[in-house]
């Protein structure tokens, strides 16, 4: 995805196939019928996992860090480093890793066998997520063990800030306490990386759909609708963290309804 003179490159780590009822629910019990993001013959929806790479002058930025090497019945990750190299970059080249939040499938390549995977990188994330997942009563041992080696390299975010010229971090709490979206801008153009503020196209076009993995569902729903209104008004391209192929889309309002199209 081109944004002015910048390019955002999806770096796929793997794919999950989740039962649709595990991903979203509808208060009226509606059957999922989103043609832009359909389920397969087994009622499962495809949700890819990975990262987005942006080179801004001498900085090589990753937004999220995939799931690491992982496999279960419906999910397989582990291809991110190979795909990073196919894009022309080594882990040593990465200068900044920015987390949209700290669920396992966004931080999985932070370390490998206890060693920092991106040894020259500064890690940027919202301080409320660090507290929630690392130090509070809600701490997750799997995440804590994975991320402790990067602790001295973490630069926390607590408010909207331009991390480097062209890359803005904007808190968007709900999915997790410190969920953050990232706005890339250059030469009058913008694109947004939305993390898990939404997982599916249908959550944008039919706001009654509710995500099933949100820590605070009410706050997440308010945030999702606020973001959708902004996207429909601006027409800016955007990518949540789990669209198939980590693809971008656009949103518009047509006859009072939100209309989604894939961006190319």
Model pLDDT, residue 134: 97
CATH assignment of the domain containing 63: 3.60.15.10
Q: What would the DSSP string read from start to end of the chain?
A: -EETTEEEEEEEEEEEEEEHHHHEE-TT-PPP--TTS-B-TTSEEEEEEEEEEEEETTEEEEE-----SEE-SSEEE--HHHHHHHTT--GGG--EEE-S--SHHHHTTSEETTEESSTTPEEEEEHHHHIIIIISTT--HHHHHHHGGGGGGEEEE-S-EEEETTEEEEE--SSSTT-EEEEEEETTEEEEEEETS-SSTHHHHSTT-EESS-SSHHHHHHHHHHHHHHHHHH---EEES-SGGG--EEEEEETTEEEEEE--
Q: Which domain holds residue 150?
A: 2-262
The count of structural domains within the chain is 1
Tens of pLDDT, residues 81-136:
999 999 999 999 999 999 999 999 999 999 999 999 999 999 999 999 999 999 98
pTM reported for the whole predicted model: 0.97
């Amino acid at each position: 995805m081109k944004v002015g003179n910048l390019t955002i490159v999806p770096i796929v780590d793997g794919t999950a196939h989740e039962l649709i009822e595990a991903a979203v629910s509808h208060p009226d019990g509606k059957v999922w019928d989103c043609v832009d993001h359909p389920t397969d013959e087994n009622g499962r929806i495809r949700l890819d996992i990975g990262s987005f790479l942006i080179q801004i002058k001498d900085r090589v930025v990753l937004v999220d860090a995939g799931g690491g090497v992982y496999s279960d019945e419906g999910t397989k990750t582990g291809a991110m480093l190979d795909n990073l190299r196919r894009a022309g970059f080594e882990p040593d080249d990465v200068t900044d890793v920015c987390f949209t939040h700290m669920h396992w499938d966004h931080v999985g390549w932070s370390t490998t066998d206890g060693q920092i995977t991106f040894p020259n990188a500064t890690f940027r994330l919202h301080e409320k997520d660090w507290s929630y997942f690392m130090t509070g009563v809600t701490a997750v041992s799997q995440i804590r063990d994975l991320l402790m080696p990067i602790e001295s390299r973490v630069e926390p975010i607590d408010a909207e800030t331009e991390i480097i010229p062209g890359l803005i971090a904007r808190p968007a709490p709900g999915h997790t306490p410190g969920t953050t979206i990232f706005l890339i801008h250059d030469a009058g153009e913008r694109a947004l990386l939305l993390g898990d503020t939404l997982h599916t196209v249908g959550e944008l076009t039919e706001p009654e759909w509710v995500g099933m993995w949100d820590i605070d569902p009410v706050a997440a729903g308010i945030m999702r609708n606020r973001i959708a209104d902004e996207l429909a008004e601006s027409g800016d391209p955007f990518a949540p963290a789990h669209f198939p192929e980590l693809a971008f889309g656009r949103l518009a309002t047509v006859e009072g309804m939100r209309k989604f199209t894939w961006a190319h």
